[in-house]
Amino acid sequence: MALSEERKASLLAYCKLTELADDPDVQVLLPALYDGAVEYLADAGIQEPEEGAARARYDLCVNYLVLAAMDQRDAAVVGSTVTDNPVFRRILTQLKLSQPANPQTLTDLGVT
């Protein structure tokens, strides 16, 4: 799904970038980071909710991924331990548990 103006405004507010909405770098980065977050969740087995379905937790996960990508563009990980934000991890786990089983994965595992 493309980044709608309404969703973009919400994402800018979450990332505290509202005042930079017209910045050319933000205009290029935000849609790319949004698409990357949506794809990441899809690869994790979490599909975007259907039109009209509850989507608050999904949007929070996308927001977190976009903000993390924005904040960590120039960051380097120091040490050997990297941990996710525990709130994000709980939301992601709950979303994964609420998704139907992927039939292709079940076939690959030999489950019928």
Residue pLDDT, tens place only, 41-83: 888 889 899 888 888 999 999 999 999 888 776 545 566 666 6
**Helix 5-14 vs helix 56-71: angle between axes, to the nearest 10 degrees?**
60
Nearest-CA neighbor of 63 among 97, 82, 87, 44? 87
What region, left, alpha or beta, does residue 2 occupy, with left being phi > 0 and alpha being psi -120 to 50 degrees? beta
Count up the domains in the chain and report the number: 1
Which residue range is the domain that position 78 belongs to?
5-108
Taking CA atoms, 90 is separated from 3, 33, 55, in Å, by 25, 21, 16
Residue pLDDT, tens place only, 86-104: 767 777 787 888 777 666 6
Which ranges constitute the DSSP H helices of the chain? 5-14, 24-43, 56-71, 86-97, 103-108
